[in-house]
Amino acid sequence: MARAELARFLRSRRAGLRPHDVGLSAGGLRRTPGLRREEVAELAHVSVDYYTRLEQARGPRPSARVLDALAGALRLTPAERSHLFGLAGTPAPPPGPGVVRRVRPHVAGMLERLPATGAIVTDAAYDVIAWNPLARTLLGGDLAQGTVNLARRRFLCPEHRETISGAEEFGRIAVGRLRRAADRYPHDARLAALLAELHAGSGEFRRLWETRPVHAPGHRTKTLDHPTAGTLRLNCDVLLVPEDDQEVVLITADPGTPSARTLEELAARAA
């Protein structure tokens, strides 16, 4: 247990909160910024003395229940919560019961502010849960139905696989991400149904599943055979939304290339 680092972390997060952030009244003049120790203790349902000792690096190792309560009281992000558990040397409880299938408004809004860039958001099970008009033009009109799953499309829909390069590489990426999702969300019924469907319908998926590939998002270049625009050379870059276990995929072309000009034309029509 890193007592000194844990104490500093708790103090810094407490100092960064204001009473209105947690639904409390300011209650008059405050000598220092942030919440009072007794306010955090009350929100976390622990004694003021116990919390004070943690902030002074004198406390015992907190239990997972106490750490979870402190994470909620201090409004920690998932990444900060994991860091808190790590500092305490306490194994973190498993993540939430299921795949997060909502899209945060600021992420959805970002998709609409990207000129000549196709953009989609995928959840941990590879469902496409948000997209912009150019992405729909590039990846197919059925995207608008809100039922597209990229893993299902890759392994069970050969007509889509033939239109874009890198299908073999994406197959390994998809299986790696789905294996991770299965470990994180063992009680998600929708994910379990998808995995059963893929196992039943694709020998390739079954073989890849047994190899336990590791998912590594990053930059990749692909060639897309578009039904009206012809062959496009595209860049695919992935941004992570770690708090929701989601990925934003950005589809662009190198500036000044014929593919970039085509993307601009397609974006103008889609808008």
Cα angle 215-217-223, degrees, rounded to a multiple of 5: 110
Beta strands per DSSP E along the chain: 118-122, 128-131, 220-226, 230-241, 246-252
For residue 69 the two structure tokens come to: 């309560």
CATH superfamily of 3-88: lambda repressor-like DNA-binding domains (1.10.260.40)
Contacts (Cβ under 8 Å, ≥6 apart) of 209: 175, 179, 199
Report how far residue 114's alpha carbon sits from residue 116's, in angstroms, rounded to the nearest whole number: 6
Edge to edge, the sheet with strand 128-131 lists: 128-131, 118-122, 246-252, 230-241, 220-226
Written out in words, the top-level CATH class of the domain with range 105-270 is: alpha beta
The reply to whether 3-88 and 105-270 are identical in fold is no
Stretch 144-169: mean pLDDT: 84
Burial 93-116 (b: 16+ CB within 10 A, else e): eeeeebbbeebeeebbebbeebeb
Name the pTM for this structure: 0.66
Query: Does position 165 have pLDDT exceeding 90, yes or no?
Result: no
* Predicted pLDDT at 214: 77
* Domain spans in the chain, listed from the N-terminal domain onward: 3-88, 105-270
Beta strands per DSSP E along 40-165: 118-122, 128-131
The four Cα atoms 52, 57, 58, 64 give a dihedral, to 10 degrees, of 80
Using an 8 Å Cβ cutoff, are 52 and 37 in contact?
Answer: yes
Query: Does position 192 have pLDDT exceeding 60, yes or no?
Result: yes
* Predicted pLDDT at 69: 86
Q: What is the mean pLDDT of the chain?
A: 87
* Per-residue pLDDT reduced to its tens digit, 109-155: 888 888 889 999 999 999 999 999 999 999 887 887 878 999 999 99
Q: What is the DSSP letter of 93?
A: P
* Per-residue pLDDT reduced to its tens digit, 89-109: 887 665 566 888 888 888 888
Contacts (Cβ under 8 Å, ≥6 apart) of 215: 173, 176, 177, 179, 180
